[in-house]
């Protein structure tokens, strides 16, 4: 058994950073503690750099296949740590105003990042499960961080109860798969499925269905999405962004590796199931978003809708030609691309939400009326972010949706692509309503806060970066697409 | 070809977007807005100059189908290239856009509220229009198509005007949202078709030239063509999905109505030719009768609806629906004469309707009403306006000497080759148009001048300039249409589905 522990150096760095944050927290005077964000963000970026240096061309497994270091793991390592670093920085102003224990707050985010990286790199079901739980436990605490706030408590309780429930479902599914196949390793499951194609044990199928349902809970796919809006609304806004973007990206990393490396031979059994989940998620997420009056709830439902689009990509991971399963590389490319584009746009939106709510003290949509008069810059960023989420050209969302739906058609799921496009028209409606509020409507007369919104310099720069990224990736996507293709080449050999 | 010819199309499409970006970064208010207007006018006229260059250098005698081609790889994984090029049809449409764009900027001179944002959106819209006409890659064609539709929402819902009817009010926000959802809904059909074509062709390419040479299965063509026909037709105002169009035109501010009815609706018809007829000849043949039927309803229904309107702009809006019907009829004939006539009609209607909206805008701007019942005898106070409206009206009803006559004549000639009886129907439509146009002219401009309107000013300088230019073009194309017809036919003759 190859146990090359130095391979895990980037993860050691991350864990070290988390403990360092906790330790430094004890030494700093209280009013300076929110500066810990720089330590956390710096550490996250450092670990990404270490990973890129050490693992650029590495294709190795640790502990006999529990942990896989390849281009796919590396892609998500860099993506997820940078994402977490950006969220840590975004939360700077929020933490200063609302959070009393910055040390724990940031350290937990770094621990969550370790869990997320494990999810992308796991080559075995229980390892994936443990990594997922590391993420979830960090989030259970983070979601309920505002203990004095009733909504925060509600959010925390809903999230922990449903999270534990879904973990149990997932674990039950894993145990059934183990019972039927005798293994929890992805490659072992894949072999078993390939050998018994066509006459799979019903226990195994039930196990797969339970795993899909459990993961469906984690990514808030309909009909398992009910926890999302309340949790998103009640959680501290940076954590809402974390839930909506980072934890979803990690869950999809896990799903991508699991479905391509373990479940691909049983495509016939799960493709329709995932497609139906995708349709339900797109339709419910986007329709219910229309009637929301709180921006965080609206973004929660919009992210449910986006999960639906990503599930379209998962359903399109392969197609059956003459009895054989042919993987569709475009689909796994597209899921990752869409994830990245979604991350840029959504983080931009949440950064605006934080800036606005720090100023006017509410997340109600009515507070966005006449935003252009308060801050043209925030309105521009928000409009770009929403347009990108709606999949409009110039912005990365247009390209990633185009890629995603082309992949679906390539897998013979043109009907699914058609439904997804229709859902994306619906989403345009509620995004446009927000744009209308910001640009056309006037500031509410009852609003007596000062008109102009002052944006802290750090947020200003983060917003500029996210804005430029959203536009630039939409206009010049080739480098990102190449990175993504390399990553999906690692999980789809021969495709 | 020299170096400039290779980059002229890129320049043409980048210029308006670069101008929009420059305006976004250009901070200034109050007095500083005037330079922004001059800047936009300069950009618009520069694009006109580029189009003139293209017109002069376009080989319309015996050239290859697409000219001024420039190809750049953009995304290898999907075989998307930033490929540009024009054929005769696109050149005619570029000419139309190059006229309407500066005209719209000039007319928009009067806009005072947030005029910087207004100019940004106009530039974006026009950039999208230019891009759609010159894209030779389906991804980018769709990309620019979407861009040209979306600024409409903000343009209408902020700078537009609501219309009060006796029993209800049609708010500008409603009209704007209706327009966007209809058009984006239509683009879903286009999107489905495009990716279906990508998969079916199996070339890992979105290039239009590849798609044209692929030769799709007949059965594939037969189910995809109607999607394209309806999806693009929607933007062209194809009955029964035209209802967004009069509402949108009426609610929009003048210069946006000019661009929208003048140029944007043509994108729809252009898309049917470019993506539909050119890549799917058999599909086009199979569905031509339906397009013919819908086009005929467009003509008749549009003109009858125009006759019963009480709002000046609604008359023009429905008359657009009716005139776009001739375009669909011409396309459905699949005959060289008919298709050439259709494209000429696109050009001619674009100019004519821009002229009409200019004049309607001038009346509304000073009288603050568009109610035909209240307006009368304006010729005494605005003689110049009356003159130009008469010109536009005559062009609209197809009087010989104006471009509309030539275009409609060609459409009819094309139709008589294939469907003689529909040709007769369309002539009736032209008759109804004559009735409502002359009646409108008589009611609004002639007759007793109401006391209220005695102090109404005539056209402002910018309006005179625009109206004069547009009227002149209508007349020149009407009297000497040969040049434009040659250019268009150069494009049409390469289309396999079009015979004769």
Whole-angstrom CA distances from B350 to A49, A304, A431, B10, B383 are 57, 43, 32, 24, 24
| End-to-end C-alpha distance for chain A, whole angstroms | 29
Check B181 against A429: CB less than 8 A apart. yes
The verdict on whether omega for the bond into residue B240 sits within 30 degrees of 0, i.e. cis, is yes
Per DSSP, helices labelled H in A122-235 are: 125-143, 150-181, 186-195, 202-219, 227-234
d(CA B220, CA A472): 36
Nearest CA in chain B to A434: B154
Instruction: Estimate the crossing angle of helix A102-121 against helix A9-27, to 10 degrees.
Output: 170
- The per-residue pLDDT for A495 is 45
User: Residues A72-88: pLDDT tens digits?
Assistant: 999 999 999 999 999 99
For residue B176, how far is the Cα from the chain centroid?
18
Q: List all residues of chain A from 434 to 493 with a beta carbon under 8 Å from chain B.
A: 435-436, 439-440, 477-478, 481, 485
Q: What average pLDDT does this structure show over B363-375?
A: 80
- Cβ-contact B406, B477 below 8 angstroms: yes
Q: What average pLDDT does this structure show over B106-132?
A: 87
Residues in B closer than 8 angstroms to A436, CB to CB, are 153-154, 157, 173
Domain limits, chain B? 3-492
The verdict on whether omega for the bond into residue B232 sits within 30 degrees of 0, i.e. cis, is no
Q: List all residues of chain A from 321 to 350 with a beta carbon under 8 Å from chain B.
A: 330, 333
Nearest CA in chain B to A410: B199
Closest C-alpha among A210, A233, A208 to residue A353: A233
Closest C-alpha among A17, A130, A135 to residue A63: A130
**Chain B interface test: which of A425, A429, A468, A482 (most B C-beta within 10 Å):** A425
Nearest CA in chain A to B196: A409
Nearest CA in chain A to B201: A410
User: Residues B149-182: pLDDT tens digits?
Assistant: 888 888 888 887 777 777 777 788 888 888 888 8
Average pLDDT value over all residues in chain A: 89
Per DSSP, helices labelled H in B202-217 are: 208-214
- The per-residue pLDDT for A267 is 87
Q: List all residues of chain A from 142 to 201 with a beta carbon under 8 Å from chain B.
A: none
- The per-residue pLDDT for A494 is 56
Nearest CA in chain B to A393: B143
Task: Name the β-bridge partners of A62.
Answer: A67
> Over 70: is that where the pLDDT of A403 sits?
yes
Check A393 against B144: CB less than 8 A apart. yes
Share of chain B above pLDDT 70, in %: 98
User: Residues B392-451: pLDDT tens digits?
Assistant: 888 888 888 888 888 888 888 888 887 878 777 777 888 888 888 888 888 888 877 777
Q: List all residues of chain A from 354 to 413 with a beta carbon under 8 Å from chain B.
A: 380, 387, 392-394, 398-399, 402-403, 405-406, 409-410
**How would residue A388 be classed by pLDDT, with cut points 50, 70 and 90?**
very high
d(CA A117, CA A138): 14
Question: Is B147 part of the contact surface with chain A (CB cutoff 8 Å)?
Answer: yes
> Over 60: is that where the pLDDT of A97 sits?
yes
Question: Is B21 part of the contact surface with chain A (CB cutoff 8 Å)?
Answer: no
Q: What is the DSSP letter of B243?
A: T
Long-range contact pairs involving A386-389 (C-beta distance under 8 Å, separation at least 24): A386/A345, A386/A349, A386/A431, A386/A434, A386/A435, A387/A431, A387/A435, A387/B150, A388/A341, A388/A344, A388/A345, A388/A470, A388/A474, A389/A302, A389/A306, A389/A342, A389/A345, A389/A346, A389/A349, A389/A427, A389/A431
d(CA B474, CA B455): 30
Check A478 against B75: CB less than 8 A apart. yes
- Cβ-contact B272, B226 below 8 angstroms: no
d(CA B359, CA B384): 10
C-alpha torsion A84→A85→A91→A93, nearest 10: 180
Q: What average pLDDT does this structure show over B255-265?
A: 89
> Over 50: is that where the pLDDT of A112 sits?
yes
Question: Is B196 part of the contact surface with chain A (CB cutoff 8 Å)?
Answer: yes
Per DSSP, helices labelled H in B108-171 are: 115-134, 138-149, 151-159
User: Residues A163-174: pLDDT tens digits?
Assistant: 999 999 999 999
Closest C-alpha among B293, B253, B9, B8 to residue B152: B253
Question: Is B14 part of the contact surface with chain A (CB cutoff 8 Å)?
Answer: no
Check B150 against A392: CB less than 8 A apart. yes
CB atoms under 10 Å from CB of A457, counted, come to 7
User: Residues A229-239: pLDDT tens digits?
Assistant: 889 888 888 99
| End-to-end C-alpha distance for chain B, whole angstroms | 32
Chain A, chain B: beta-carbon pairs less than 8 Å apart: 80
> Over 60: is that where the pLDDT of A59 sits?
yes
Q: What average pLDDT does this structure show over B116-132?
A: 91
Closest C-alpha among A18, A27, A39 to residue A92: A39
Give the ipTM of the model, two decimals please.
Answer: 0.89
User: Residues B309-325: pLDDT tens digits?
Assistant: 888 888 888 988 988 98
Check A421 against B76: CB less than 8 A apart. no
User: Residues A449-485: pLDDT tens digits?
Assistant: 777 888 888 889 999 999 999 999 999 999 999 999 9
Output the six-digit token pair for A81.
């740590």
Q: Point out the residue among A333, A380, A409 whose CB comes nearest to the CB of B195.
A: A409
Check A440 against B158: CB less than 8 A apart. yes
Residues in A closer than 8 angstroms to B175, CB to CB, are none
> Over 70: is that where the pLDDT of B2 sits?
no
Average pLDDT value over all residues in chain B: 86
- The per-residue pLDDT for B153 is 87
Residues in B closer than 8 angstroms to A394, CB to CB, are 147
Closest C-alpha among A225, A282, A238, A227 to residue A98: A238
Q: How far is A242 from chain B (nearest CA, A)?
A: 30
Share of chain A above pLDDT 70, in %: 99
Share of chain B above pLDDT 90, in %: 24
Burial of A428 (0-12, 13-18, 19+ CB in 10 A): buried
- Cβ-contact A289, A305 below 8 angstroms: yes
Output the six-digit token pair for A432.
């446009």
In degrees and rounded to multiples of 5, residue A344 shows phi and psi of: -60, -55
Q: What share of chain B is helix, strand, coil (3-state, %, to 5)?
A: 75, 5, 20
DSSP one-letter string for A81-121: HHHHHHHHHHHHHHHHHH-S-HHHHHHHHHHHHHHHHHHHH
User: Residues A302-343: pLDDT tens digits?
Assistant: 999 999 999 999 999 988 888 788 888 899 999 999 999 999
> Over 80: is that where the pLDDT of A489 sits?
yes
d(CA A193, CA A262): 8
Q: Point out the residue among A393, A406, A409 whose CB comes nearest to the CB of B143.
A: A393
Q: What share of chain A is helix, strand, coil (3-state, %, to 5)?
A: 80, 5, 15
């Amino acid at each position: 058994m190859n146990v090359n522990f130095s391979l895990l150096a980037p993860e050691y760095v991350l864990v070290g950073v988390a403990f360092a944050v906790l330790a430094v927290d004890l030494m700093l005077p209280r009013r300076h503690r929110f500066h810990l964000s720089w330590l956390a963000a710096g550490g996250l970026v450092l670990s990404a750099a270490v990973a890129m240096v050490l693992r650029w061309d590495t294709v190795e497994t640790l502990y006999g296949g529990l942990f896989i270091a390849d281009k796919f793991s590396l892609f998500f390592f860099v993506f997820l740590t940078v994402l977490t670093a950006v969220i840590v920085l975004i939360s700077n102003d929020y933490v200063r105003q609302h959070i009393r224990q910055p040390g724990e707050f940031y350290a937990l985010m770094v621990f969550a990042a370790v869990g997320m990286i494990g999810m992308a790199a796991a080559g075995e079901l229980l390892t994936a499960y443990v990594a997922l739980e590391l993420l979830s436990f960090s989030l259970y605490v983070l979601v309920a961080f505002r203990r004095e706030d009733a909504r925060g408590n509600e959010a925390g309780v809903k999230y922990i109860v449903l999270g534990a429930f879904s973990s149990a479902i997932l674990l039950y599914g894993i145990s059934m798969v183990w019972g039927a196949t005798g293994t929890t390793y992805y490659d072992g499951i894949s072999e078993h499925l390939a050998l018994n194609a066509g006459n799979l044990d019903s226990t195994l199928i039930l196990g797969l269905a339970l795993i899909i349902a459990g993961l469906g809970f984690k990514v808030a796919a309909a009909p398992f999405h009910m926890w999302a809006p309340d949790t998103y609304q009640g959680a501290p806004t940076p954590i809402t962004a974390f839930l909506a973007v980072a934890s979803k990206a990690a869950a999809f990393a896990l799903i991508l590796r699991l479905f391509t490396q373990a479940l691909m031979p049983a495509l016939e059994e799960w493709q329709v199931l995932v497609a139906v989940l995708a349709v339900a998620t797109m339709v419910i997420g986007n329709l219910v978003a229309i009637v929301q009056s709180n921006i965080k709830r609206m973004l929660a439902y919009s992210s449910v809708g986006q999960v639906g689009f990503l599930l379209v990509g998962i359903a399109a991971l392969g197609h059956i030609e003459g009895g054989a399963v042919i993987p569709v590389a475009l689909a796994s490319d597209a899921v990752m691309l869409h994830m990245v584009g979604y991350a840029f746009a959504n983080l931009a939106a949440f950064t605006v939400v934080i800036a606005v709510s720090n100023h006017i003290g509410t997340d109600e949509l009515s507070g966005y009326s006449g935003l252009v008069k308060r801050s043209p810059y925030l309105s521009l960023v928000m409009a770009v972010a929403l347009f990108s989420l709606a999949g409009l050209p110039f912005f990365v969302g247009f390209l990633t949706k185009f890629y995603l739906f082309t992949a679906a058609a390539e897998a013979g799921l043109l009907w699914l692509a058609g439904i997804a496009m229709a859902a994306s028209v619906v989403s345009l409606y509620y995004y446009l309503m927000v744009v209308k509020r910001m640009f056309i409507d006037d500031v509410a007369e009852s609003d007596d806060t000062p008109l102009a919104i002052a944006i802290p310099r750090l947020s200003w720069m983060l917003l500029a970066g996210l804005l430029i990224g959203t536009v630039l990736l939409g206009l010049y996507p080739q480098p990102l697409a190449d990175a993504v293709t390399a990553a999906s080449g690692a999980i789809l050999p021969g495709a | 070809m020299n170096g400039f010819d290779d980059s002229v199309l890129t320049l043409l499409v980048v210029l308006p977007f670069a101008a929009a970006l420059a305006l976004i970064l250009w901070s200034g208010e109050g007095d500083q807005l005037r330079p922004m207007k001059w800047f936009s006018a300069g950009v618009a006229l520069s694009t006109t100059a580029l189009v003139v260059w293209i017109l002069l250098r376009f080989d319309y005698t015996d050239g290859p189908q697409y000219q001024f081609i420039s190809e750049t790889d953009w995304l290898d994984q999907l075989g998307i290239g930033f490929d540009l090029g024009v054929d005769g049809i696109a050149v005619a449409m570029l000419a139309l856009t190059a006229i309407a764009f500066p005209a719209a900027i000039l007319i928009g001179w009067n806009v005072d509220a947030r005029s910087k944002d207004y100019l940004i959106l106009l530039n974006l819209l026009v950039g999208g229009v230019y891009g759609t006409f010159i894209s030779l890659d389906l991804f980018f064609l769709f990309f620019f198509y979407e861009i040209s539709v979306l600024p409409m929402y903000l343009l209408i819902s902020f700078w537009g005007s609501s219309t009060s009817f006796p029993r209800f009010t049609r708010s500008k926000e409603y009209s704007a949202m209706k327009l966007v959802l209809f058009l984006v809904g239509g683009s879903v059909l286009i999107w489905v078709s495009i990716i279906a074509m990508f998969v079916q062709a199996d070339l890992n390419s979105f290039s239009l030239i590849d798609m044209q040479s692929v030769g799709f299965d007949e059965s594939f063509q037969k189910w995809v063509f109607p999607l394209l026909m309806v999806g693009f037709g929607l933007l062209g105002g194809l009955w029964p999905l035209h209802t967004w169009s009069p509402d949108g035109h009426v609610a929009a501010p003048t210069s946006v109505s000019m661009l929208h009815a003048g140029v944007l609706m043509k994108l729809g018809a252009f898309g049917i030719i470019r993506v539909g007829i050119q890549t799917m000849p058999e599909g086009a043949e199979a569905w031509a009768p339906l397009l013919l039927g819908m086009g005929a309803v467009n003509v008749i229904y549009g003109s009858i609806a125009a006759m019963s309107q009480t709002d000046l702009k609604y008359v023009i809006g429905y008359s657009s629906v009716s005139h776009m019907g001739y375009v669909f009829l011409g396309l459905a004939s699949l005959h060289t004469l008919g298709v050439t006539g259709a494209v000429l009609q696109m050009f001619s209607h674009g100019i004519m309707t821009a002229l009409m909206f200019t004049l309607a805008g001038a009346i509304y701007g000073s009288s603050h009403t568009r109610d035909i019942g209240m307006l009368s005898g304006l010729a005494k106070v605005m003689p110049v306006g009356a003159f130009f409206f008469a010109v536009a009206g005559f062009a609209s009803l197809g009087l010989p000497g104006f471009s509309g006559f030539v275009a409609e004549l060609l459409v009819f000639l094309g139709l008589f080759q294939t469907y003689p009886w529909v040709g007769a129907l369309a002539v009736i439509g032209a008759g109804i148009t004559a009735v409502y146009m002359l009646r409108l002219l008589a009611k609004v401009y002639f007759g007793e001048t109401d006391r209220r309107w005695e102090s109404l000013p005539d056209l402002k300088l910018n309006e005179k300039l625009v109206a004069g230019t547009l009227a002149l073009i209508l007349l020149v194309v009407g009297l000497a249409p040969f040049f434009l017809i040659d250019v268009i036919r150069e494009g049409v003759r390469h289309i396999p589905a079009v015979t004769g």
